[in-house]
Amino acid sequence: MLVAEGLVKRYGSHRALDGFDLEVAPGEVVGLVGRNGAGKTTFVEVVAGLVRPEAGRLQVAGIDALASPRQVRALAGVAPQELALYPSLTVREHLRLFAALTGLGGRSRRKAVDALTEELGLSEVADRRAGLLSGGQRRRTQAACALVGSPPLLLLDEPTVGADPDTRRALLSSVADRARAGAAVVYTTHYLAELDDLDATLAVVDAGQVVARGHRAELLAHLPSRVRVEFAAQGVGACGQASEVVEASFDPAATITRVLAGGGLPRTIEIQRPTLNDLYQELAASHGR
Amino acid sequence: MAARAPSRTLVLFNHNLTMLAREPGPLASRLVMPLVAIAVFEPLDRAAIGSRGGAVQAVTGMLVLFSMLSLALVGGSVLAERLWRTWDRLRMTPVRPLELLVGKSVPTGIVLAVQQAAVLGFGIVAEGLHARSLALLTMVVLVWSATLVAIGSALSLIARSQAELAAIQDIGSFIVTSLGGALVPLAEMPSWARQIAPASPAYWAMSSFRAAVDGNVGAAIHSGSVLLGIAAIATGLAVWRLKRSSTRSARL
């Protein structure tokens, strides 16, 4: 559905995209993860036709997106990272507008708008102006504008930032439904649990490139957990050990057994599984950054 | 699947008309202010340049002044979209830049035309303005509205903030209308100001309206053509700015 090869986009001397490659199949959810400024949003903006890259190739549904950006925009539903709503328009008016701009009219538009407000729990506030909505309701409205018309490509840039658990649940459920129906989804987030819920594959972005690709478990499998054992005061005195032992370990149980065998009364035992941040650091180190 | 171009423009036109109707305050003030100003200034102009000339000067001068000040309506509506980030959101849909501009600017153009029609109507009914050709007057109203919309759109796409836009519009409008002879009749202005007056769009607007009131078709077409030229340049600038803006509006 989406093929990006060698995309380059510079802002002055900063290379926001520096040879960005990504493929997303129909029905696949790809979680774009990476530190702030890694290039995730710039990539979304390139696909959405908002930003033109200096080099590279981009195809969506077989269409050259750089030569025919308007055709690609007709296929993509976009939820930008920052809220983009009209304070004086109601939820329903927002949905009608974006439905009409993607070509829906008459009864099919009414049906799509009603279905989406129901699906995202917006029915009760459908006739309320966006300026009077809560943060979560605004997030849902923004996402609904992207989903209306069931586009085959969804570009969702941190759609749940600042959202409450209900909003998050509603959005994830809708996105998962769209993916099951065959939509290709690019989903940027800092919340890994959301990507687990969406059964997404991860594309780790660093310095404008995709530096790792795969499921979360695969990507983190080669990183050690962090084991921390803190001893009670008498234990420290009796054994003459440090009050705390911290070790990186691929087998936390064995490490804890070995540390405890040295004597002393443990007060706290912690196992910290590897996180995305550990992966970023490891990938950055391996790329010499 | 995708709507045809005319219907997308219509969708945006309706959308922007709704937005204008939701905030009627600025529209109302721009309709009332010129009428009050005409009533106050007309005796002065009448005393300075005679009965008929005074009414023409007061009505057309205030019309040009307040329609220039209403550029804020055009520019503000585009800039507000940039600040709300909805401008970029619309650019992520299949809408063409020109459709976006037309859908945005035509409703404000209608507001400007209504404002001018109200001023001229007031002038005819209350101030004894005698227009020899209403058709010519209507044509000039449309041309001047289009010129204002084009200038306002271009400014709003160039300005980096609301404050910058307000400064450009307020200072620019005042200078342009003053130089164009809207505040003081050209004949009463210093010679250096008369020399540079043709550089002001307001000069050509005043000329067009005066010609239309006098029923002078040739002069109205000549001045109107200059205004259309200005409008074409401003539209070109706005479209060029919109097409080459490869950055997020959020970076304002």
Compute the distance between CA of residue A244 and CA of residue A236 in angstroms, rounded to an integer: 9
Judged by a CB distance cut-off of 8 A, whether residue B92 touches chain A is yes
A102 to B92: CB separation less than 8 angstroms, yes or no: no
Q: Is residue A287 part of a domain?
A: no
Judged by a CB distance cut-off of 8 A, whether residue B246 touches chain A is yes
Confidence of residue A242 (pLDDT cuts 50, 70, 90): low
Point out the least confidently predicted range of B89-103, B160-174, B202-216: B160-174
Which of B86, B246, B247 is opposite residue A86, by nearest beta carbon? Answer: B86
Q: What is the mean pLDDT of chain A?
A: 89
Domain span at residue A11 reads 2-220
Q: Is residue A118 part of a domain?
A: yes
User: What amino acid is encoded at B216 in this protein?
Assistant: N
What confidence score (pLDDT) does residue A71 get? 92
**Residues A195, A95 within the same domain:** yes
Q: Alpha helix (H) ranges present in chain B?
A: 5-22, 25-49, 51-69, 71-84, 86-91, 97-126, 134-158, 162-179, 191-196, 201-214, 217-244
A225-231/A266-272 β-pairing: antiparallel
Identify the CA nearest to B120 among candidates B110, B107, B109, B134. Answer: B134
Residues 6+ positions from A32 with CB-CB distance below 8 Å: A40, A43, A44, A186, A187, A188, A189, A203, A205
Confidence of residue A287 (pLDDT cuts 50, 70, 90): low
Residue B251 has pLDDT above 50, yes or no: no
Q: List the single best residue of A51, A101, A133, A145 to mutate versus B (max B Cβ within 10 A).
A: A101
State which residue of chain A sits closest to B250, comparing Cα positions: A82
Q: Is residue A288 part of a domain?
A: no
**Residues A208, A256 within the same domain:** no
Partners of A15 in the beta sheet?
Answer: A10
Judged by a CB distance cut-off of 8 A, whether residue B248 touches chain A is yes
Q: Is residue A283 part of a domain?
A: no
Between the alpha carbon of residue A66 and those of residues A3, A7, A72, A101, A260, the distances in Å are: 12, 11, 9, 21, 61
**Residues A178, A260 within the same domain:** no
What confidence score (pLDDT) does residue A233 get? 64
Domain boundaries, chain B: 5-11+23-247
CA A175 from chain centre, in angstroms, equals: 12
**Residues A35, A164 within the same domain:** yes
Compute the distance between CA of residue A139 and CA of residue A125 in angstroms, rounded to an integer: 13
Residues of B in contact with A80 (CB under 8 A): 85, 88-89, 92
Confidence of residue A137 (pLDDT cuts 50, 70, 90): very high
**Residues A43, A169 within the same domain:** yes
Which of B8, B18, B85 is opposite residue A84, by nearest beta carbon? Answer: B85
Q: Is residue A268 part of a domain?
A: yes
State the total domains in chain A. 2
What confidence score (pLDDT) does residue B44 get? 79
Residues of A in contact with B7 (CB under 8 A): 100, 105
Compute the distance between CA of residue B223 and CA of residue A162 in angstroms, rounded to an integer: 56
**Residues A59, A129 within the same domain:** yes
Partners of A187 in the beta sheet?
Answer: A31, A156
Q: Average pLDDT of B211-231? A: 93
DSSP B140-192: HHHHHHHHHHHHHHHHHHH-SSHHHHHHHHHHHHHHHHHHTTSSS-GGGS-HH
Compute the distance between CA of residue B37 and CA of residue B30 in angstroms, rounded to an integer: 11
Q: What does the block give as tokens for B43?
A: 């005796």
A76-79/A153-157 β-pairing: parallel
**Residues A70, A189 within the same domain:** yes
Which of B1, B2, B89 is opposite residue A84, by nearest beta carbon? Answer: B89
Token match 């129901």: residue? A118
A89 to B18: CB separation less than 8 angstroms, yes or no: yes
Q: Is residue A286 part of a domain?
A: no
Range picked from A133-147, B95-109, B174-188 for highest mean pLDDT: A133-147
**Residues A230, A146 within the same domain:** no
Q: What does the block give as tokens for A92?
A: 């329903």
State which residue of chain B sits closest to A49, comparing Cα positions: B92
Q: Is residue A281 part of a domain?
A: no
Q: Average pLDDT of A38-54? A: 92
Compute the distance between CA of residue B2 and CA of residue A12 in angstroms, rounded to an integer: 36
Q: List the single best residue of B9, B82, B92, B104 to mutate versus A (max A Cβ within 10 A).
A: B92
**Residues A182, A246 within the same domain:** no
**Residues A185, A244 within the same domain:** no
At residue A139, φ and ψ (nearest 5 deg) are -60, -45
Which of A49, A74, A85 is opposite residue B2, by nearest beta carbon? Answer: A74
Q: What single-letter DSSP state applies at residue A90?
A: B
**Residues A208, A234 within the same domain:** no
A49 to B84: CB separation less than 8 angstroms, yes or no: no
Judged by a CB distance cut-off of 8 A, whether residue B251 touches chain A is no
HSE, side-chain direction, 13 A CA sphere, residue A100? 18
Q: Average pLDDT of B113-118? A: 90
Identify the CA nearest to A78 among candidates B221, B248, B233, B190. Answer: B248
Identify the CA nearest to A28 among candidates A152, A167, A162. Answer: A152
Judged by a CB distance cut-off of 8 A, whether residue B194 touches chain A is no
**Residues A113, A212 within the same domain:** yes
Q: Residue A156: give its domain's CATH number.
A: 3.40.50.300
Compute the distance between CA of residue B101 and CA of residue B157 in angstroms, rounded to an integer: 11
What confidence score (pLDDT) does residue B97 get? 82
Q: Is residue A278 part of a domain?
A: no
Q: Average pLDDT of A3-11? A: 94
Q: Average pLDDT of A52-58? A: 94
A82 to B250: CB separation less than 8 angstroms, yes or no: yes
| Sign of the alpha-carbon torsion through A120, A126, A129, A133 | negative
